[in-house]
Amino acid sequence: MRRAYAAFGALGVLTVVVGLGATVASGRPASPATPSPSAPVTTSSGAPDGRATIIPYAFAPTVAESSPQSELSIHNSIRQLVAGLDPSEFVSVTLGPPPTGSERNGNWLYLKLAVPSSDSNNDTQQLWEADLLQGDLAELIGSDSDLGNSIAGSTIQLDGSDGSTAEAPSGSGDIARGQVFRTLASPAQLVTDAMETIRSFGLQPNEVRLLHPLSYALSVIATVPDLSKTDNLATRLSSALLGSPYEFEGLYLELRDPSGSVLFQGSSAFRSGVTRVHAGANVSLTGLGVGHG
């Protein structure tokens, strides 16, 4: 499987370490400064299974800047954001100084993620959730107009259940603070709309999952019945699912062939500015409409 990563694109040192797992899922501490995310919503169809510029840019309308949070609020924010993702994937989250030799100053996010195997090429979805967490935490803890100045970057360690470990690429873009990813639809309606969009492309939805760390984020796994009709598919489907302006703060898209083999995995987290792309061994990224890997 070919792999490509792209990263588009407060100096007081504070370290917060949170052990995450059942404790996080069992009870989120309330914080007036932090929105309370709803639990992830999962619906299945029953089918088988760097920085480019110093000028911040926005994917959605922006609102007034927020004030920096206290250490306690940061601690609560991490716990609440993780609770709106998949807490079982986060082994630990640490906010601290940048690693030795880093060319960037400021807060640095250190994450350990639980994956089946650190070298399985099957970690795009977990990395996407880490990218969402990074961007959302930057939104909550700082006041600079550029989120990249709230959290300068991240280091992601993959802890495989088979005992293997590896470090995954990460990044941070120059993204405008205060973006609004807002929809008037209910969570159930968002899932229904996504499934209808998938079917309108002639695809079979395997899973549609709605997460809510800070805003809603959409995860889609779908089967492509006719492999002769993949022209520009990933780009066209992503655009249709996201809406205009974007309804979601992030999108994970996985396309499979009728046998269940992965054709494409792609993710975007719009507050961190990180996009990740995987393609199957014999799949043309250009043909799927996502450039080249």
Q: What is the pLDDT of residues 223-247, one digit of tens each?
A: 999 988 888 899 999 999 999 889 9
φ and ψ of 148, to 5 deg: -65, -15
Q: Can you give the pLDDT at residue 59?
A: 52
Under a CB-based contact definition with an 8 Å cutoff, are residues 46 and 196 in contact? Answer: no
Q: Residue 170: pLDDT above 90?
A: no
To 10 degrees, what angle do helices 187-200 and 233-242 make? Answer: 150
CA distance 252 to 129: 9
Under a CB-based contact definition with an 8 Å cutoff, are residues 18 and 72 in contact? Answer: no
What is the DSSP pairing of strand 165-168 with strand 41-44?
A: unpaired
Q: Can you give the pLDDT at residue 68?
A: 54
Average pLDDT (141-162) is: 89
pLDDT tens digits, one per residue of 32-76: 223 333 333 333 333 323 333 333 344 555 554 555 556 558 888
CA distance 147 to 269: 13
Task: Give SS3 for 192.
Answer: helix
Per-residue tokens: 239: 């655009």
CA distance 188 to 103: 44
Give residues with Cβ within 8 angstroms of 120, minimum separation 6: 160
φ and ψ of 194, to 5 deg: -65, -40
Is the bond leading into 245 cis (omega within 30 degrees of zero)?
yes
pLDDT tens digits, one per residue of 65-109: 555 556 558 888 999 999 999 999 999 999 999 988 888 888 899
CA distance 210 to 195: 12
Q: 163 to each of 124, 125, 130, 158, 289, how far by Cα in Å?
A: 19, 20, 20, 10, 36
CA distance 212 to 34: 13
Under a CB-based contact definition with an 8 Å cutoff, are residues 248 and 215 in contact? Answer: yes
Angle at 12 between CA 155 and CA 212, to 5 degrees: 50
Q: Can you give the pLDDT at residue 45?
A: 33
CA distance 261 to 238: 20
Nearest by Cα to 35 from 130, 127, 137: 137
| Domains of the chain (ranges, CATH numbers) | 2-37+50-168 (no CATH), 187-288 (3.30.300)
Burial readout 21-50 (b: 16 or more C-beta within 10 A, e: otherwise): eeebeeebeebeebbebeebbebebeeeee
Under a CB-based contact definition with an 8 Å cutoff, are residues 51 and 103 in contact? Answer: no
